[in-house]
Amino acid sequence: MHFLARIFENLEQQPDRCAVIEVHGTELREHDGRVLLDHIARAHAFVAAAGVQPGDRVAVLAPNSAKWVCADLAALACGAIVVPLYDKQEPKELAVMLRSAKPSLLLAGSRELAETIALAWPEHCRVAVFDDVFETEPSKAGLHAIAPEDPVAIIYTSGTSGVPKGVVLSRANVDFMIPKTIERLAKVAIDRQVPDRVFHFLPFCFAASRMMLWTQLSRPNPIMISTDLTKLVVEMATAKPNYFLNVPAVLERIRNGVGAKIRERGGIALGLYERGIAASQAIAAGRGGFFDRVALGLAQRVVFGKIRTTIGEKLDFVISGSAPLAEETQRWFQMLGIPVYQAYGLTETTGIVSLDEPDQVVAGRVGVALGGVEIRTSDEGELLVRGPNIFAGYWEMAQETADVIRDGWFHTGDQVEIERGNIKIVGRIKNLIVPESGHNIAPEPLEEKFLAACPEATQCMIVGHARPFVAVLVPGRPPKSAIDRAIEQVNSDLPAYRKIRRAIVVDELFTPDNGLLTANQKLRRAVIERHFGSQIDAAYDAAKLERAKAPASASV
């Protein structure tokens, strides 16, 4: 039985069972199988009446909600290929994707979204609003037959560089992935004889998010959905999750925010907190003694327990994906008693390549490959992947597909190190910085070290390609003393060519709204470098002038 049939069977056999819970501030709104099936039948009728044929594309542009889930399942039930879109993305970028996908129908979550996309995409197809879609008389039609090789989704890449490409995922891709995620969850979830409290705030337009949604509906287990990211703290307290899918940027903010609050208060709590961290690090490194164990035990009883309760009183673990998580942050959560299991994957790999095994977790590594998925590295250290999770190709982009799938192996573009099957992401091959010295420098490790050494900074980006030296771009204007101290710490054990020689401090933070981050918090490096081009150029010009005035023996 394929994944979609399984989801519908679960809803039909247990119509009174809660399937989707919307979190609205302090309120939980439950939707059982009967309600979802009614919504799906109404959307199914609307999509069919709009003339959508099997194989046609149906775009969905809306924030996460129970109706989003129903619109998605209804379009799939009609045999359509769903094109999920991020509702916060720039309209002009959405228009590029829509011109590529050529949908027959676009389902928008609100009239405002419908009007916005119509303006950005003048040649648009029929655009319908959820309010109208779900007022239609329900259809009694069943599932359209879907063959294993049939596409079920076209998910556009985040566009960190170049034009977004539509990743075509087949039924077979999803049929392979769902049992794998269910199997891995069974290893880490606590069996309480009651459903897991699973909270989800990442947009369903991403492959990993879609896998989380379909995994919970397939188990079956309710999924709790954020409805307002500006109230995420309140929603998290209301949801009281056992676990949730996260991105490193959010976990970094939690860690830095906790540290900042404790430093503000000072006193005994600060001393216990800092001593506890030092003791935890010493014990993890195998050099902790009796007093370290005493200090850690005291910190756990007095400080760490309260921090854990603040983060999530029922939280068993966190799943982190989308980018590698800093070792220090993963160890910090582990110190609090909150395991962080890393996942690694790309849209092209149906969201996942590797997941942490609970007994093989190594801080800073992203786990071992799923069973049935092969991995190896190229001569350049690039991770290559082969298996049933590899996508069918980029939508109407044969050459681009051939560029990344060679001899059956998908070239991920990620530079990695593999030890005993456990993967460590070093950086993106295309992100490599080559300064005038000619050395290849992966920026990600330097950025990770800088942020760990400078908790006052929440973001940074290394620059220096074809420049005389490496510099760090720091938004938000943290104190100069903190930046200088961090640079000195980072540089202490680096060869000369990798040392950070200057900080370029700017006011504006990197956000998805200003186009400097992708929706899942990844740096849009080329865009950032263009955006702050004048400040970057000025910093290097100033350094050149300083060098010209300095004695001949002085270095930059």
Is the peptide bond between 195 and the residue preceding it cis, with omega within 30 degrees of 0?
no
Tell me how far apart the alpha carbons of residues 91 and 425 are, in angstroms, rounded to a whole number. Answer: 32
CB neighbours of residue 271 within 10 Å: 14
Per-residue pLDDT reduced to its tens digit, 404-413: 999 999 999 8
Mean local confidence (pLDDT), 396-403: 94
Tell me how far apart the alpha carbons of residues 280 and 297 are, in angstroms, rounded to a whole number. Answer: 10
- Residue 124 CA, chain-centre distance (Å), reads 30
**What's phi and psi for 226, nearest 5 deg?**
-70, 140
Looking at per-residue pLDDT, the higher value among 214 and 441 belongs to 214
Q: For the domain made up of 248-313+317-429, give the CATH fold.
A: Rossmann fold (3.40.50)
Looking at per-residue pLDDT, the higher value among 226 and 260 belongs to 226
Mean local confidence (pLDDT), 149-172: 87
Does residue 222 contact residue 18 with C-beta atoms inside 8 Å? yes
Query: Which residue's structure tokens are 């404790």?
Result: 262
Per-residue pLDDT reduced to its tens digit, 488-546: 999 998 888 889 999 999 999 999 888 898 877 888 888 899 999 999 999 999 988 88
Tell me how far apart the alpha carbons of residues 398 and 366 are, in angstroms, rounded to a whole number. Answer: 31
Tell me how far apart the alpha carbons of residues 405 and 394 are, in angstroms, rounded to a whole number. Answer: 11
Does residue 182 contact residue 112 with C-beta atoms inside 8 Å? no
- Residue 417 CA, chain-centre distance (Å), reads 21
Does residue 219 contact residue 13 with C-beta atoms inside 8 Å? no
CATH of domain 18-242: 3.40.50.12780
Which residues contact residue 28 at a Cβ distance below 8 angstroms, ignoring those fewer than 6 apart? Answer: 21, 22, 224, 238, 239
Residue ranges of the domains in the chain?
18-242, 248-313+317-429, 432-549
Nearest CA to 43 among 12, 20, 24, 68? 68
Same fold across 18-242 and 248-313+317-429? yes
Residue 552, pLDDT score: 43
Nearest CA to 128 among 226, 22, 35, 42? 42
Say whether 252 sits in a helix, a strand or coil.
helix
Does residue 100 contact residue 81 with C-beta atoms inside 8 Å? no
CB neighbours of residue 334 within 10 Å: 16
- Residue 518 CA, chain-centre distance (Å), reads 9
CATH of domain 432-549: 3.30.300.30
Which residues contact residue 545 at a Cβ distance below 8 angstroms, ignoring those fewer than 6 apart? Answer: none
Tell me how far apart the alpha carbons of residues 132 and 115 are, in angstroms, rounded to a whole number. Answer: 15
Residue 466, pLDDT score: 82
Tell me how far apart the alpha carbons of residues 209 and 182 are, in angstroms, rounded to a whole number. Answer: 14
Looking at per-residue pLDDT, the higher value among 260 and 58 belongs to 58
Of 77-81, 124-128, 243-247, the poorest mean pLDDT is in 243-247
Per-residue pLDDT reduced to its tens digit, 300-333: 888 998 898 888 889 999 999 887 788 888 999 9
